[in-house]
A and B are shown apart, each in its own frame.
Chain A
Amino acid sequence: DAGVIQSPRHEVTEMGQEVTLRCKPISGHDYLFWYRQTMMRGLELLIYFNNNVPIDDSGMPEDRFSAKMPNASFSTLKIQPSEPRDSAVYFCASRPHQGYTGTDTEAFFGQGTRLTVV
């Protein structure tokens, strides 16, 4: 498997524009996570899905952020309109089904998308 694939790797956009980040999880993984990494806040969990259903979006900072998972092999994180403070590295991660006691494996991360909003 090629691992978790994110696109684009780098995105530079102007303030006010719509930005869409994409993620392809590892095949067969039931969970998909979106994280944002900044110097100030570290690694923040924005939202995660289980079997394509959003489970917890309490980390999504504002209504400008939205995430979808239309099928098991694809997810998007959209920012509309974008602002300079959204500049960060956005990571997508996936993991297999969690057993009853949570004793399954770890999450696997993509390479990240470095977003710069000017």
Chain B
Amino acid sequence: AQSVSQHNHHVILSEAASLELGCNYSYGGTVNLFWYVQYPGQHLQLLLKYFSGDPLVKGIKGFEAEFIKSKFSFNLRKPSVQWSDTAEYFCAVNVGNQGGKLIFGQGTELSVKP
């Protein structure tokens, strides 16, 4: 079965530190990849998405992610985090031949200290 793994459960950083959150998926075919963010007490919102083309995808609020097909990875990065980035981050995969099935990783909680 397809799955999504996020290796970091909880990351604590100071403001201005660089961020990289890992995401790996298990499926050998066509996939669409997403990162969502969930601020405390709120619903999930899209940060960025990859469907095809340039494997380096830029999203909102200075986030970016790189799709590396050979590693089945889609890591999220931000050069300099802010306190307002404190949230939970979810990687998700939509498997091309699964008729729209969207699978999420366990999530990574990011705490940014001011």
Residue positions of A touching B, CB distance < 8 A: 31, 33, 35, 41-43, 45, 48, 50, 55-56, 91, 93, 95, 98, 101-103, 105-107, 109-112
**Stretch of B19-27, B41-49, B60-68, B73-81 that contacts chain A:** B41-49
In angstroms, Cα B95 to Cα A106, docked, is: 13
Chain A residues with CB under 8 Å of B52's CB are 101, 103
Does B94 count as interface, using CB distance less than 8 angstroms? yes
Question: Could you tell me which residues of chain B, from 69 to 107, have a CB within 8 Å of some CB in chain A?
Answer: 90, 94-96, 98-107
Which residue of B is nearest A43, CB measured? B104
Partner of B96, one of A31, A35, A95, A101: A101
B43 contacts A45, CB within 8 Å? Answer: no
Q: Are B100 and A48 in touch, CB under 8 angstroms?
A: yes
The interface of chain B, by Cβ under 8 A from chain A, is 30, 32, 34, 36, 42-46, 49, 51-52, 90, 94-96, 98-107
Q: B43 and A110: CB pair below 8 A?
A: yes
The CA-CA distance from A45 to B105 in the complex, in Å, is 11
Given that A101-B30, A101-B96 are contacting pairs, would A106 and B103 also be in contact in the complex, using a CB cutoff of 8 Å? no
- Complex CA distance for A46 and B88, rounded to whole angstroms: 20
A50 to B96, CA, bound (A): 15
Contacts of B95 in A (CB 8 A): 102
A89 to B30, alpha carbons, bound, how many Å? Answer: 31
B101 adjacent to A48 (CB under 8 Å):
yes
**Bound complex: CA A1 to CA B91 (Å):** 26
Apart from the given pairs A41-B106, A56-B98, A98-B99, 10 other A-B contacts in the complex at a CB distance below 8 Å? A33-B102, A43-B106, A48-B101, A50-B100, A55-B100, A95-B100, A95-B102, A102-B96, A107-B102, A112-B43
- Which residues from chain A contact B99 at a C-beta distance below 8 Å? 50, 55-56, 98
Q: Which of A43, A91, A95, A107 has the most CB of B within 10 A?
A: A43
